[in-house]
Amino acid sequence: MTEPTLPTSPAGDEPSRRDVVAAAVTMAAAAGAAGTPAKAQTPSHLRFSNPPGMSSPPTYSHVVEVIGAHRTVYIAGQTGADAKGNLPKDFRGQAVQVMENIKTALDSVGGGFEHVVRITSYLTDIAANAAEFRDVRALYFKKGTLPTATLLQVSRLANPAYLLEVEAIAVLPPKG
């Protein structure tokens, strides 16, 4: 296979930016066509899971664990639906289920709420529900282990019946 040459500008000097990009795309396409197809592999320091006791969504993982000197665990936004899809109609019921879902996710990697370093919470009505959300959240986080937090109001969530969604990041010690 011969290497493509870069065309020069009409003035005969350096190639234009457009020419360089076009040549790079052509070379990348040729290299890809000549090589073997890439296989998606999960890196050994990452573990993706949908733990028992939680739903198994087809489009995302509830938990991503990063394994290294410490284990960083990313928990997808949790709603008030339980593993069977049951959803309380009231805000408090949904808030409790959200925290129980996060607890299940943390349990699946050997962690607890004391390992959570960040939460982002999305409520559809902060004025009506923020105080109650904080009350429920306080039942799960002990003083001294409160994570960094952001509370946002959104116009709606993926399912209009969802009243809140909470995502979390936890840092755990390495597995022994």
Reduce the secondary structure of the chain to three states and give it as a string.
Answer: CCCCCCCCCCCCCCCCHHHHHHHHHHHHHHHHHHCCCCCCCCCCCEEEECCCCCCCCCCCCCEEEECCCCEEEEEEEECCCCCCCCCCCCHHHHHHHHHHHHHHHHHHCCCCHHHEEEEEEEECCHHHHHHHHHHHHHHHCCCCCCCEEEEEECCCCCCCCCCEEEEEEEEECCCC
Angle formed by the axes of helices 91-108 and 126-140, nearest 10°: 40
| Residue 98 burial (CB count, 10 A) | 26
Cβ atoms of 2 and 25 closer than 8 Å = no
How far apart (Å, rounded) are the C-alpha atoms in residues 123 and 115?
A: 23
How far apart (Å, rounded) are the C-alpha atoms in residues 8 and 95?
A: 63
The pLDDT tens digits for 15-62 are 555 554 555 544 444 444 444 455 567 667 778 888 999 888 776 788
What pTM, to 2 d.p., does this model score?
Answer: 0.69
- In the numeric block, which tokens belong to residue 139? 């039942």
The pLDDT tens digits for 132-145 are 999 999 999 987 77
Domains and CATH numbers, the chain: 1-39 (no CATH), 46-172 (3.30.1330.40)
The pLDDT tens digits for 110-157 are 999 999 999 999 999 999 999 999 999 999 998 777 898 999 999 999
The pLDDT tens digits for 159-172 are 999 999 999 999 99
pLDDT at 83 over 90: yes
In 3D space, the residue among 111, 93, 102 whose CA is nearest the CA of residue 149 turns out to be: 102
How far apart (Å, rounded) are the C-alpha atoms in residues 163 and 62?
A: 19
